[in-house]
Amino acid sequence: MRGIVFSDLHLGNFRPFSRIDKQGYNTRLMNGILVLRQIVDYAKKNRIELILFCGDLLDKGDKPTPDILELLVATFRMLIRCKIRMVCLVGNHDQASLNGLINIVSPFRDYVTVIDRVENDLEIVGLNVVGMPARRDMEDLKAELKKCPENVPGKKGIFLGHFYCKEILEADVAGLSEKMECVEFSQLPQGFDYYFLGDYHRPVVVPELNLESVGAVMHHDFGDATRPQGHFIDIDFDTGEKKYIPVTAPMFVDVKDRKFPTKDDIPYDYYRVHVKDKKQRDKIQSKLDDSWNVKYIFESQPKEAQELRVDIDPTLTPMDAIQSYVEYLGGSPELAQAGVDYFQKAASARL
């Protein structure tokens, strides 16, 4: 039996590198909808019965807008008409409460099977499916993983999760698991034939464990744009044969025609702001909106303390800050280079 697996759609009305089309929709939102409809069309043409989604349907699940809901309902109705079963795991971006039980995916239960809590195994088209939705607290995640049932003997089992796994991180970047909160494969319920994880946007396979980071189905920011184009997985659950189908919707920005700076071009202190005291910090902060990601460094602190305060997650890229700057200015593509230039100057001046 064949199925489709994908993850991290992150639908949203993104401002950077977007415009409003003739129908009044945000073009980057429509790119995501086009990806979802490509998957539905592919499933229909290839007589696929099951689609598995590994979390983060929306980018801001606590702030859904009518246009997103309208487009999703229309797409999910296509699934019903085509008699295709879809399972949606709740990701961290889908949640509006700490325990994840209030989320944007649950209202779509009439169209898809929603996994927003640890439940007993689900038998879906002859497969045993168990899911572990995202949890914002790592200790809560580990505690709930202990409640997940192991696979039913004699059944083809699939485990879905939305979190970082040590073996995935280490297979991608050596030493990364020491810098990121993650669980180990041994903490997952055992006995499943396939383990598919969302949340980590890079596609990574650990074949000896039947473990796979599905990867983001499409690019969402400058960090994603440095990775391979998104795809979804066509898998034969009986034989294990997989096909990786690239998405055809346009990327949010064409990296082929634009040279983006690397982390060597813009030092990481592009968003470190050196201030004399809290008064100066508050004055600067009052002029910035929430899209700015700023770390304030007080000059009165010893150098050792300053270095501790600016220890930055190595997975962040200068592209994320440039995107925030473009969004702050209004989101037009013409301002992209202005954002690059600004942060190059800011890095030199150390603000």
Cβ–Cβ under 8 Å, residues 98 and 137 = yes
258 lies in some domain:
no
Q: Which residue is associated with the tokens 């702030």?
A: 63
CA-nearest of 51, 92, 55 to 75 is 51
Q: What is the CATH number of the domain that holds 120?
A: 3.60.21.10
Say how far apart CA 213 and CA 340 lie, in whole Å. 31
Do 309 and 238 lie in one domain? The reply is no
Between 244-248, 257-261, 342-346, the lowest mean confidence (pLDDT) is in 257-261
Higher per-residue pLDDT: 58 or 324 = 58
pLDDT at 327 over 90: no
191 lies in some domain:
yes
Phi, psi angle pair for 46, to nearest 5°: -105, 15
Residue-range definition of the domain harbouring residue 273: 268-349
259 lies in some domain:
no
pLDDT at 37 over 60: yes
- Band (pLDDT 50/70/90 cuts) for residue 17 is low
Do 40 and 188 lie in one domain? The reply is yes
263 lies in some domain:
no
pLDDT at 331 over 50: no
Of 246, 280, 302, the residue at which a domain comes to its end is 246
Instruction: Indicate the number of domains in the chain.
Output: 2
pLDDT at 83 over 80: yes
Higher per-residue pLDDT: 337 or 133 = 133
Summarised one tens digit per residue, pLDDT across range 142-151 is: 999 999 999 9
